[in-house]
Structure formats: structure tokens, C-alpha cells
């Protein structure tokens, strides 16, 4: 994956970093997604990232630092992917269909089994790690806000009825999308999940 995070080299002193940060984080977030936080050992992470433990600790401080960086990278990449999916749709209603289809498309087969890093860390870490909890909270609030804005957009462009309660429906759709990522862990079929997301469009009637 070659999505840019921050590519401006600020002319730092000392020996320059040899590895590609985004590529390393892409491998790290894959390991964290598959294994979860605790089951992902430093050995497995360093091997996947193509680095030694020393380099990892120099760059990220500790294991938690690797996770937080990988989490931010994950959010960044997924948001851009979702943005691209939504952009083409002509109105609020169709943008929300694209959004739900996007999540349905990530909730079947091998990609579905790999799971969502945000959902995984929410269940595994949110209760005892306040920093992670805050990040999850921000991420979910952002997702919910985007859904809310799309509902209101649809109500303005006439594709969604005015009587739809935007706030509660946004929370329902947020829950539905995160839930698909959970159900997708059990290996559903593409048809199964797409049909579910199509059924969920009724929330906007």
C-alpha cells in the first residue's frame, strides 16, 4: 500500500532511517488485525516489518507505540478508501448505500476473517487502556458523524425522507457496520453480507 501519510523529510540529523515507515506500518497493522494486540509478539511484528527489535524500539518507543502508529495508519488508509467509494454516488441515499456496501465488502471471505483493527482493539483494549479508548472513541464519533452528515445531505437533496430521525439512525447504521465486521469474522459469503447491507437500507425509508 502506498498511501502517503507525511512525506516531507525535515532534514533530520544523524543516520537517516532506512526502512519505509508506511510499508512497515502496513505490515504491523496486518499482524495486529490478524492476531490482536497481545497475541502479536514483537518477534512476529519485527519479522513482518522487516526490522530488528532495536530499530522498532528506536522508532516507536515500545510495543504500544507501534500499535498506536499502526492504528492511526489504518484509520487513515480506510478513510481514504471509504471516501473514494462514497464520492461517486449522486446523493445522500446512494452515498449511504455505498458506505454500507463498502463495509459489507470488507465483511466476507478472508478479508472479513482478518477483521477490523478498530473493532478488534475496541473489544480487546478499550476497557483498560485510556489512550486507546480515546482513539476508538474519536474514530467511532468520526464515523457516526459522517453517517449523520450523509443522512442530512440526503434529507436536503430529497433522497431521504425528512421524518427519518438522523441521530438515532446514524447510531443504528454505525452499529450495523461495526457488527458486520464482527459477523464477517465467522466467514460469511459475499452474497450474504451484501444482502444484509441492502436490507439495512430500509433504515433510511
Partner DNA sequence: TTGATTTGGAAACGATCATTTCCTAAAAGA
Partner DNA sequence: TCTTTTAGGAAATGATCGTTTCCAAATCAA
Q: How far is CA 118 from CA 21, 30, 32, 52, 106, in A?
A: 20, 12, 10, 26, 13
CB of 35 or CB of 76, closer to a copy of itself: 35
Contact between 178 and a copy of itself by CB under 8 A: the answer reads: yes
Q: Residue 17 binds which one of a copy of itself, DNA, none, with CB within 5 to 8 A depending on kind?
A: DNA
Contact between 161 and a copy of itself by CB under 8 A: the answer reads: no
Out of 113, 148, 149, 157, the only residue in the binding site for a copy of itself (CB under 8 A) is: 113
CB of 14 or CB of 90, closer to DNA: 14
Contact between 115 and a copy of itself by CB under 8 A: the answer reads: yes
CB of 62 or CB of 167, closer to DNA: 62
Cβ-contact 148, 142 below 8 angstroms: no
According to DSSP, residue 37 is labeled: T
| Contacts of 187 by beta carbon, 8 Å cutoff, 6+ apart | 108, 109, 112, 113
Cβ-contact 169, 85 below 8 angstroms: no
Rounded CA-CA distance 100/180 in Å is 9
CB of 56 or CB of 170, closer to DNA: 56
DSSP for 122-173 reads HHHHTTT-HHHHHHHHHHHHHHHHHHHHHHHHHHHHTSS-TTS-HHHHHHHH
Contact between 133 and a copy of itself by CB under 8 A: the answer reads: yes
Q: How far is the CB of 43 from DNA (least distance, A)?
A: 5
Residues at the site binding a copy of itself, with contacts judged by CB under 8 A = 34-36, 38-39, 113-115, 119-120, 122-124, 126-128, 133, 136-137, 140, 165, 167-169, 171-172, 174-183, 185-188, 192-193, 195-200, 202-203, 205
Amino acid at each position: 500500500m502506498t498511501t502517503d501519510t507525511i512525506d516531507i523529510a525535515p532534514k533530520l540529523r544523524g543516520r537517516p532511517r532506512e526502512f519505509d515507515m508506511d510499508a512497515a506500518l502496513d505490515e504491523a497493522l496486518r499482524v495486529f488485525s490478524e492476531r490482536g494486540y497481545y497475541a502479536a509478539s514483537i518477534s512476529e511484528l519485527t519479522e513482518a516489518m522487516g526490522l530488528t527489535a532495536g530499530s522498532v524500539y528506536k522508532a516507536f518507543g515500545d510495543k504500544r507505540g507501534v500499535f498506536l502508529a499502526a492504528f492511526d495508519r489504518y484509520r487513515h488508509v480506510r478513510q481514504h478508501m471509504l471516501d473514494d467509494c462514497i464520492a461517486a454516488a449522486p446523493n445522500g441515499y446512494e452515498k449511504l448505500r455505498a458506505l454500507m456496501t463498502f463495509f459489507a465488502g470488507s465483511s466476507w471471505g478472508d478479508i472479513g476473517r482478518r477483521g477490523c483493527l478498530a473493532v478488534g482493539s475496541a473489544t480487546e483494549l478499550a476497557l483498560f487502556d485510556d489512550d486507546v479508548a480515546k482513539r476508538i472513541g474519536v474514530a467511532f464519533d468520526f464515523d457516526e458523524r459522517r453517517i449523520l452528515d450523509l443522512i442530512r445531505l440526503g434529507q436536503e437533496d430529497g433522497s431521504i425522507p425528512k421524518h427519518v430521525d438522523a441521530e438515532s439512525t446514524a447510531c443504528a447504521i454505525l452499529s450495523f457496520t461495526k457488527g458486520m465486521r464482527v459477523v464477517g469474522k465467522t466467514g460469511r459469503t459475499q452474497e450474504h453480507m451484501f444482502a444484509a447491507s441492502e436490507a439495512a437500507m430500509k433504515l433510511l425509508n
